[in-house]
Amino acid sequence: MDLESLRREYMKDGLRREDLLEDPIGQFEQWMAQVLGLGIVDPTAMTIATVSRDGQPSQRIVLLKYFDKNGFVFYTNYGSRKAEELGHNSSISLHFPWHNADRQVKICGVAEKISAAESLKYFITRPRESQIAALASEQSSVLSSRTFLLNQFESLKQKFQSGEVPFPDFWGGYRVKAHEIEFWQGGENRLHDRFRYTLQSDGGWHIERLAP
């Protein structure tokens, strides 16, 4: 495969300092609204990176479910690898790859578990099958076969067919409190526009342009 010759030019409008809001959460909301308007598949999909006890980074894709000035929220099994790693090192990085818009957003911060009440509020909005899947899957554990997982799912589906699916105490959300947010806009000739917001001690944000 000739991967070296695969390239394209980024021809969208550039990003200027005067285009940016002073608050990165507002800037993120603006970009998210624009991306939603483009009809991009899975616009809320983000890669999250955590680090193991021995310093090995690990990445996976999850969906952003909520954000505001307090942080960015996603949900997972608290027995998963990501949760185990966040338990000993709460540092985390999020990355949104919006290729169709020639844009990326990178967020660095710390992850904190949200309350059980907040997790329950979201859990009951999930499709019934997704609720059952959360119960059936011991996320990140070794499986003997896919058949075993499907049998677990069908067994629980039958068990709770006439009632509510119970909220699992091993499942819930994390809120990522950001201290650094970078906005990337693709530019012609690889002269991309990058702006980094860094949280200051007074709660304000310092904005810097970075070399591509």
Active site residue ranges: 190
- Residue carrying the six token digits 């955590």: 50
Rounded CA gap, 136 and 139, in Å? Answer: 9
